[in-house]
Amino acid sequence: MDRISVWLVRTSLVYLVGGFGLGAVLLATMGLGQPWSLPRVGVVHAHLLFVGWLVQFVLGIAFWLLPRRRVAGVLQPTSERWAFLAYGLLNTGLVLRAVGEPSHALYGPTPWGMVLVLSAALQAVAAVIVALQLWVRVLGRPHHRRYRLQPPASGPRQARRGEDPRRHRHSTPAGLD
């Protein structure tokens, strides 16, 4: 497993535990008839579970499963630095969102509105980086397209290395002469 995959999956599991823990506290306070006093915690709970757990888990598995490109038989590394940059931006944006949502509701839009805008911008940049990193992994192999577009060779088919050359002397299958 790539290092980025390990980091993404492990971080997603931390967010899973944190998100379910926050959800349990929210549910317990509702059950006791004392609603949670901090506003917008439900939104934080949803973001921790969706972006923190689900999205990062899927990205970790995608980086692990999708093959890296090979050029002339050499494995081309997708830049792990870019992937870790996206990881940092995504998690920084998520933490800013978790702090910014309740603070925005409690203290007003100034300066917490800008924190939420920064959070969204960081996550958007992370999404673009991840999309570019994964896009390269799912591109078709150009050398296969090149061979497919060539016209068929004229004349009888030549035997491949390791094949019996007598097998391809006739145009009709063996036994139908």
Domain membership flag for residue 100: yes
d(CA 86, CA 2): 15
Q: pTM for this one?
A: 0.71
Domain membership flag for residue 156: no
Residue 69 identity: R
Domain membership flag for residue 163: no
Mean pLDDT of the 14-26 span: 93
The number of folded domains in the chain is 1
Which two structure tokens, joined as six digits, stand for 158? 């030549």
- Whether the predicted pLDDT of 147 surpasses 60: no
Domain membership flag for residue 175: no
CA distances from 130 to 10, 25, 60 (A): 18, 33, 11
For residue 5, what pLDDT is reported?
A: 92
Domain membership flag for residue 31: yes
Domain membership flag for residue 160: no
For residue 140, what pLDDT is reported?
A: 60
For residue 29, the enclosing domain spans: 3-67+76-142
Task: Locate the DSSP E strands across 12-94.
Answer: 70-71, 74-75
List Cβ neighbours of 61 (8 Å cut-off, separation of 6 or more).
5, 9
- Whether the predicted pLDDT of 2 surpasses 70: yes
For residue 85, what pLDDT is reported?
A: 94
Confidence grade of residue 50 (pLDDT, cut at 50, 70, 90)? very high
Domain membership flag for residue 11: yes
Domain membership flag for residue 53: yes
d(CA 102, CA 56): 23
